[in-house]
Chain A
Amino acid sequence: DAKTTQPPSMDCAEGRAANLPCNHSTISGNEYVYWYRQIHSQGPQYIIHGLKNNETNEMASLIITEDRKSSTLILPHATLRDTAVYYCIVSPSTDSWGKLQFGAGTQVVVTP
Chain B
Amino acid sequence: GAVVSQHPSWVICKSGTSVKIECRSLDFQATTMFWYRQFPKQSLMLMATSNEGSKATYEQGVEKDKFLINHASLTLSTLTVTSAHPEDSSFYICSATPVASGREQYFGPGTRLTVT
Contact = CB atoms under 8 A, between A and B. Distances in A.
- Are the chains A and B members of one assembly? yes
A102 B95 CA distance: 13
Contacts of A38: 44
Interface stretch (B13-21, B65-73, B75-83, B107-115): B107-115
Interface string B21-64: 00000000000101010000001111001000000010000000
A37 to B, nearest CB: 10
The CB with the most chain A CB atoms within 10 A, among B36, B43, B97, B109, is that of B43
A3 B50 CA distance: 24
Nearest to B49: A97
A56 to B, nearest CB: 15
Interface residues of A, number: 22
Category for how many chain B residues contact A: 20 to 34
A43 B107 contact: yes
Contact of B109 (A36, A42, A46, A100): A42
A98 B102 contact: yes
A98 B106 contact: no
A104 B44 CA distance: 9
Task: Summarize B's interface: helix, strand, loop or mixed.
Answer: strand
Contact of A97 (B43, B57, B107, B109): B57
Given A41-B110, A46-B104, A100 B34 contact: yes
B95 A99 contact: no
A49 interface: yes
By Cβ-Cβ distance, the 10 closest A-B pairs, closest first, are A43-B107, A102-B44, A46-B104, A102-B43, A44-B107, A97-B49, A43-B93, A43-B110, A43-B109, A43-B108
Given A98-B32, A101-B46, 5 more contacts: A32-B103, A41-B91, A46-B105, A99-B46, A100-B105
Interface of A: 32, 34, 36, 38, 41-46, 49, 87, 96-105
